[in-house]
Amino acid sequence: VYASMSRSLTTVVDDTLRSVAAQIIADSGHGELVSIDDVAQEPEYEQLRDRGFSMEAWDLNGRLVESYGPYGGFPTPSADFYAPFQSGQFMTIEDGESHDPVRIYSVQIVDRNEVLGVLQVAQNLNNIQSTLNLLLITLLIGGPLVAAAAG
């Protein structure tokens, strides 16, 4: 039950990160990397900002060109990730300052079949961890109680 719930909750975060990355890339101008101003100020991103959403954009030289949010210093995308038509990649890290678990999605910024850079979007997993901790407590306490009542 615990493992299934963990996978389900992580899938929801992954789907959110994919959608956010696609929206940010779609909102950026043709031939440009992403615009942080949109993410920092647009009302449509308000819920994501409230949930600890962060992003970083890297150019083809592996240089950080845009950054937004409470989390940063994500692992630099590997050199082979800049090769054309790489699929998105997920990873989970622990933030160095807050020690929050952070889920990161890295995806290429592509315009007219040309790779312009890499976008990394991230969200903390605190809500998921809290939910899983409550489930674990319920299972640890509830399991023996049910067994005792049935026995």
**Tens-place pLDDT, residues 41-55:** 666 666 666 767 888
Phi (first) and psi of residue 84, to 5 degrees:
-60, 145
Phi (first) and psi of residue 106, to 5 degrees:
-110, 130
Mean pLDDT of the chain: 77
Asked if residue 136 has pLDDT above 80, the reply is no
Q: Are 55 and 120 in contact (CB under 8 A)?
A: yes
Give the pLDDT of residue 81.
75
Candidates 2.60.40, 3.30.9, 1.10.3470, 3.30.450; CATH matching 2-143: 3.30.450
Q: Are 105 and 88 in contact (CB under 8 A)?
A: yes
